């Protein structure tokens, strides 16, 4: 367990401007260089100039509010425990991201890429592959979620190209794993921290993310806290028009530790106000084996990532964070 202590404000998370990087080689290299610095120094960065429509972004936060405003029975109708591929609603206390701490003080709803029963990945029984569970009574909800997911896939593909460039590899280095990437969209609601909270109760306990990159949309309420290289906790204050990006364990292993998956947590200290956010977990295809980058020196502390598939790793980590159901 990592005991809770208030964050420090002695450092900042950098903002990387993606403007021009989608088409212009010079701006693309500038963005890749900025990402390299951010990933070496803290493992987190904001992105601006991403080109995603503001109405789609605001609509996604509204979709989160509408979903969680439903009656409990309606939310439980799409409970995660009813899904063979880990999708759907989770109530407070369902997940414990920091082992030894109290279960996380949040509720969530997740989808991923919707696959039919006859898709080869579903037939093969690959972890986490299958159909979404959708609520019935929210007009336009499915359309909003799928449009936002498509936008995150476009942005995620571009960020993976920039990450490849950031370690002196070609922009298209990951192309073979990006034909049908995984992209889980998770709506999150964090109630205010209760005054009589048990020891180390947080909205999301201290953890590192499991995959390659996370694209986070924050509402107006702060709460995300990031641990910097000095071990100090700093607040990731919401900046309108940006997403927060962080790298996960697969990218750390890909670079043999040159980039680090950074510990982070969520604590909503706003009185009587829930915090809403949307996390997009962008990942390469589940059968992709992400070996060490040929430009990064080997490190015995980081076994070859290609020994297991991305899908296997995500499934293993997910199961470890949930109590048996």
Residue 204, beta-bridge partner list: 266
Based on the number of CB atoms within 10 Å of its own CB, is 230 exposed (0-12), middle (13-18) or buried (19 or more)? exposed
Evaluate whether 250 touches 29 at the Cβ level (below 8 Å).
no
Helix (H/G/I), strand (E/B), else coil: 72? helix
User: For position 97, what pLDDT does the model report?
Assistant: 86
Read off the tokens for 110: 């997740």
Does any domain span residue 176? yes
β-bridge pairing 213-218 and 224-227: unpaired
Q: Which residues pair with 109 in a beta bridge?
A: 89, 187
β-partners of residue 203 are: none
Task: Say if 101 falls within a structural domain.
Answer: yes
Alpha helix (H) residue ranges in the chain: 25-41, 54-68, 72-76, 120-123, 141-166, 249-254, 310-320
**Running DSSP on this structure, what letter comes out for residue 246?**
E
- Domain of residue 213 covers 15-320
| Cβ proximity of 313 and 249 under 8 Å | yes
* pLDDT on residue 325: 37
Here the tokens at position 180 are 């049908």
Residue 241, domain member (yes or no): yes
| The total number of structural domains that make up the chain | 1
CB atoms within 10 A of CB 272: 6
**∠ CA(108), CA(325), CA(203), 5° rounding?**
30
Q: Tell me the two tokens of residue 4.
A: 């809770």
pLDDT at 62: 98
Residues of the chain with pLDDT under 50: 1-3, 8-10, 324-325
CATH number at residue 78: 2.60.120.330
| Contact in structure between 184 and 130 (CB atoms under 8 Å) | no
Task: Specify whether the CB–CB gap between 252 and 305 falls below 8 A.
Answer: no
- 240 Cβ neighbours under 8 A, 6+ residues apart: none
pLDDT for the residue numbered 154:
98
Q: Quick check: is 269 in a domain?
A: yes
Residue 10 is assigned to a structural domain of this protein: no
């Amino acid at each position: 367990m990592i005991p809770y202590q208030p964050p420090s404000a002695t450092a900042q998370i950098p903002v990387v401007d993606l403007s021009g990087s989608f088409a212009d080689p010079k701006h693309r290299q500038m963005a890749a260089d900025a990402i390299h610095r951010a990933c070496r120094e803290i493992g987190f960065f904001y992105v601006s100039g991403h080109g995603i429509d503001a109405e789609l972004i605001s609509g996604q936060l509204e979709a989160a509010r509408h979903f969680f405003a439903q009656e409990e029975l309606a939310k439980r109708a799409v409970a995660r425990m009813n899904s063979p591929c880990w999708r759907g609603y989770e109530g407070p206390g369902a997940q414990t991201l920091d082992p030894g701490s109290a279960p996380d003080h949040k509720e969530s709803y997740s989808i991923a890429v919707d696959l039919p029963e006859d898709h080869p990945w579903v037939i093969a029984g690959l972890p986490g592959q299958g159909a979404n569970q959708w609520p019935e009574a929210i007009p336009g909800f499915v359309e909003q979620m799928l449009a936002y997911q498509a936008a995150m896939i476009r942005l995620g593909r571009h960020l993976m190209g920039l990450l490849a460039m950031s370690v002196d590899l070609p922009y298209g280095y990951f192309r073979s794993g990006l034909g049908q990437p995984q992209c889980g969209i998770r709506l999150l609601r964090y109630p205010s921290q209760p005054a009589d909270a048990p020891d180390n109760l947080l909205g999301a306990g201290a953890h590192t993310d499991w995959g390659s990159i996370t694209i986070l949309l924050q509402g107006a309420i702060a709460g995300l806290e990031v641990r910097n290289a000095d071990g100090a906790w700093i607040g990731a204050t919401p900046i309108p028009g940006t997403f927060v990006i962080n790298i996960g364990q697969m990218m750390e292993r890909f670079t043999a530790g040159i980039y680090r998956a950074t510990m982070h947590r969520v604590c909503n200290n706003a009185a009587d106000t829930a915090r809403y956010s949307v996390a997009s977990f962008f990942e390469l295809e589940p059968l992709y084996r992400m070996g060490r980058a040929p430009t990064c020196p080997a490190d015995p502390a980081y076994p070859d990532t290609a020994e297991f598939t991305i899908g296997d790793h995500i499934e293993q980590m997910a199961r470890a964070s949930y109590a048996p159901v």
